Chain A
Amino acid sequence: MHHICAMKSKLLICLLSFNLFCASITAQTDTLTSIGEEIVVTATKTERKLSNVAVPVTIISQKNIQQAGSLRIRDILQEQTGIFLTSGFGTGVQMQGLGADYTLILIDGEPLVGRTAGVLDLNRITVGNIKKIEIVKGPSSSLYGSEALAGVINIITEKPKENKFTAGVRYGTYNTLDANVNTTFHVGKLAVNAFINNYNTDGYSIRPFSVERAANPIWKFTNNINLSYPFSEKTKLAIAIRNTYEDIRNEIAVTNNGAVVYSKGKEVNKDININPVLTHQFNAKLKNTLRLYATEYQSTQNLLSTGAGSYSDFLNHRFLRIENQTDINLNANTATTIGAGFTEEGVRSNRYDNTGNRKTNTIAYAFGQLEYNALKNISIITGLRYDYNQLFASAFSPKLAVAYTVKPTLKFTASYGRGFKAPDFRQLYLNFTNIAAGGYSVYGTIEAQKIINQLNSLGQIGSLESDFYRISTLEPEVSNGLNIGMQWQPGSKWQVKINAFRNDVKNLIDSRLVAYKTNGSQIFSYLNVRNAYTQGFDADVNYKLGNNLLLSTGYQFLLTADKEQLREIKEGKIFTKDANGFSRKMDRSEYIGLPNRSKHMANFKLSYEHPAKKVFANIRCIYRSKWAVSDKDGNGLYNTNDEFATGFTQVNISAGKSFSNGIRLQLGIDNIGNYIDVNSLPNLPGRQYYLSFNYSISKNKTVKK
């Protein structure tokens, strides 16, 4: 496997250098298509050509998703440049080096809720009815408010257009069976798209001789109905109703100091989203959009353990929002967007003081955006959003983006944005004691002082740490992000995208030890303590090799650091050990930065497509360099002396053929090299084979106007 990896990377380097060589000799022709004819909505909250957007955007098309043989959203995201999927509390997304908490996940522009420890599990979302995925990197809080700090992933579902019927089934390793039915029809003026997905898997265990599964046996059901009703040519109502149900059978083996405790049980997660959107186009210059959104996520887990009794967990998160947005095209060169909204959300959990007691928060916000084509070649986008928050400090989120189009094939962009993430309910209200693991407790900031003072009066507190006195109202975590990019098409066969980024994040919330109980148990709470930065660049190069072959490569270089740790290193307060175990001063050059981040990530994709023969095939390699997993030398930060997970390459292949009778067959192998890392990559299963069968008929029925 390592040989294959080495060969692959060599091949990649060869191809890259060959490409660069080619680039320098390819003659410029006049038959270029301009960059980015695709439409993107996430970057400005209005439909814009990709070429008119001044922030880094990646669009993943339905075709890409299908040809990659993806089932869940995580499958396709893991193949994108600069995105790494994290494990722990589900599969999260790491973007521009920032953790899963800091990327906003939207479905049709509205947020999904129900994060566990800040992570929104990407396995929750099927790709079966996704039209495209838009990824905006860098802070977008000026439009979306909290959580849009590292970026936004907007999953756009299929809207009812022409009548069609599609059914597909895919079967693969681990008895993974995925079945979709997707249909669009019209009832008078009402257009309906209905989608059903059923996903079953036995899960897998990559740890030998273990009953515990890295992924549990799961049954997931998704049902999505998109309705569209035009009241008139100018007024349209769209309603999206999405409903998911997950049944996860848990079989957990926890080794507690040598004794294995087996637990069996069931986890049920339900997610409902309802999203009516009323749009009215007053005239060519004025459009109004009124959005209502209601969602509820509920997770219940019940476990029965051998000898140790039962364990149950409950979370219910409700989110309601009303938002109005007005788009005004003042003149050919100026467009504005103004909007305001109101959000109410609440969480009930057994990890708070009382399951029946819903903790709530309300947010009122307003935002504005101005797009201005200053000169023929320069466009400027400015935006500002203000969030008034009931529970914590308000947030101002400005944004400024500039695009300079040198010529149709060359564009430079620069953007600055401020992103924030409001403290979540867990950080405010958690009231959790883990009896199994040494009896430590974690209290949210609103609860912490109250509870600890109570315990103190009962004589149960041994000592209060200095951080106890620092517990106060949590502030939002704030980031200042800078992105500078270039898009270049140096010939009809080439497309080059480069973006350099820097995110300065402050007020990061971290759990800190605040007190000891008299029995020695630790008590933690949350504090705004850390400042960090992430910086680097990513690059995507696409090259058309002849008519049927497309070569695409992507790369991200990343550096991160905790600023406090940097200061301590500079002051000579950080030490490490030599081979004898003797301490010595640690040098700045040994510092790695934040854990679980790879300095280098790359992907390499070769796709073949022959439209006339209706066949396609592709090979996709995803590489990630080593990353720090644990602080081996005990100095409280990550340096070259610590424990790293080995870098790896995952290779996926897929091929398919369509027939004129509407049948499409596809087969593929994911993780061909069977790369497994039991400890550091529990969410990467071994080699998987699959075969899928699709049938579709469509009728080009144009909607009568």
Chain B
Amino acid sequence: MKKVLVVLSVVSVMIACKKTNDTTTTPVATSKTVSDIIADTIIGYTAQGQPFGANKYTFYSLERNEVVASTDSATNRWDIGFRGTTIITNSGNSGPGNGGGFVFIGTYDALKAVPADSTFRTDIAPTAYAITSGSNRGWYVYNGQTNLVTPIPGRVLVFRTATGKYAKVEILNYYKGGVTPAVTATDDEKTKKQRYYTFRFTYQADGSKNF
């Protein structure tokens, strides 16, 4: 039912588009929030105290708004993948798709369309992902004093999906339940609650670059 409504509203806007004095405020595509996407959560510590996960990506389809089985990793069924702080796109050497992405600086609402001069990067794992990995380089910052990962405010991840559609994503939180542990929480708690993504996204099904 919801999908039908979305489609209807999209269609109605498409009909109404190009009119400069249009008074309808219906969004072109709606924003959805997804919680607790597991991104290779910690399953143990090494003898040296280093935490480790199973080293597996969680694949996600922005088009269908669902997690995709890892057995489908070599298909176009997924658009983005999560493992720890690394976000991959179904592009380059990460997947067979026509994906890509880049980081837009600004607010989510301010990004009404993919800017004309944008370049979608593709993945060259493990050194140059479309969404650059590392603290303070892509979407997050790691604070060595508090041992916490925080999404940098004002960073919108713009993606081209595996099938060449466009979507924008804002990472809201990296911890279980969408709540960052207190600075004073133990390192163990911080470690065990990390790698749970909460994000909101807008997927443009019509193939246009407008959000």
A residues sitting closer than 8 Å to B (CB atoms) are 255-259, 261, 307-308, 437-438, 462-463, 513, 516, 520, 522, 573-577, 580-586, 629-636, 643, 678-679
Q: Are B108 and A634 in contact (CB under 8 A)?
A: no
CB pair B146 A520 closer than 8 Å: no
Quote the shortest CB–CB distance from A524 to chain B (angstroms). 11
User: Bound complex: CA of A679 vs CA of B50, how far in Å?
Assistant: 24
Contact B50 A633 (CB under 8 A): no
Q: What A residues does B141 contact at CB under 8 A?
A: 631, 634, 636
Q: Closest chain B residue to A256 by CB distance? A: B49
| Residues of chain A with a CB closer than 8 A to B152's CB | 575, 634-636
Q: Which residues of A contact B49 (CB under 8 A)?
A: 256-259, 261
A-B CB proximity, top 7 nearest: A575-B154, A259-B49, A634-B150, A581-B172, A575-B153, A258-B188, A256-B49
The reply to whether B151 and A516 contact each other, CB–CB distance below 8 Å, is no
Query: Are B150 and A632 in contact, with the CB atoms below 8 A?
Result: yes
Q: How far apart sit A106 and B192, CA to CA, in the bound complex (Å)?
A: 49
Structural contact, A255 and B188, CB atoms closer than 8 A: yes
B105-159 at interface with A (beta carbon < 8 Å) = 105, 107-108, 127, 134-136, 140-141, 143-146, 150-156
Report the minimal beta-carbon distance from B48 to chain A, rounded to whole angstroms: 8
Residues of A within 8 A of B164 (CB): none
Asked if A437 and B144 make an inter-chain contact with CB atoms under 8 angstroms apart, the answer reads: yes
Of B57-65, B73-81, B89-97, B179-187, which binds chain A?
B179-187
| Chain A residue at minimal CB-CB distance from B51 | A257
Select which of A256, A438, A631, A678 is within 8 A of B187 by beta carbon.
Answer: A256
Chain B residues closer than 8 Å to A463, beta-carbon distance: 127
A379 to B188, CA, bound (A): 64
| A516 & B134 in contact (Cβ 8 Å cutoff) | yes
- What residue of chain B has the Cβ atom nearest to residue A465's Cβ? B137
* A419–B48 CA distance with the chains assembled, in angstroms: 47
Q: A520-B134, A634-B140 are in contact. Are A257 and B150 (CB under 8 A)?
A: no
Q: Contacts A634-B151, A643-B183 given; indicate if A257 touches B50 (C-beta within 8 A).
A: yes
- Which residues of chain B in 166-198 are interfacial with respect to chain A, using CB atoms and an 8 Å cutoff? 170, 172-173, 178, 180, 183-184, 186-188, 191-192, 198
B183's partner among A576, A580, A679 (CB-CB below 8 A) is A679
Other-chain residue from B45, B153, B183 in contact with A635 (beta carbon distance below 8 A) = B153
Taking a contact as CB atoms under 8 Å apart, the answer to whether A582 and B150 are in contact is no
Using CB atoms, name the residue of chain B closest to A308. Answer: B48
A463 to B143, CA, bound (A): 21
| B200 contacts chain A at the CB level, 8 A cutoff | yes
Min distance, Cβ A109 to any Cβ of chain B, angstroms: 37
Among B145, B154, B170, B172, the residue within 8 A (CB) of A574 is: B154
The reply to whether A630 and B170 form a contact with Cβ atoms under 8 Å apart is no
CB neighbours of A581 from chain B (8 A)? 151, 172-173, 178, 198
Q: Which residue of B lies closest to A631 (CB)?
A: B143
Contacts of A635 in B (CB 8 A): 152-154
Most chain A C-beta atoms within 10 Å of own C-beta, residue among B45, B143, B154, B184: B154
Q: Which residues of A contact B134 (CB under 8 A)?
A: 516, 520
Residue of A nearest to B33 (CB): A580
Cα-based distance from A513 to B47 in the complex (angstroms): 29
B45 near A580: Cβ-Cβ < 8 Å: no
> Closest CB of chain A to B35's CB: distance in Å?
11
Q: Considering the chains assembled together, what is the distance between the CA atoms of A520 and B172 in angstroms?
A: 25
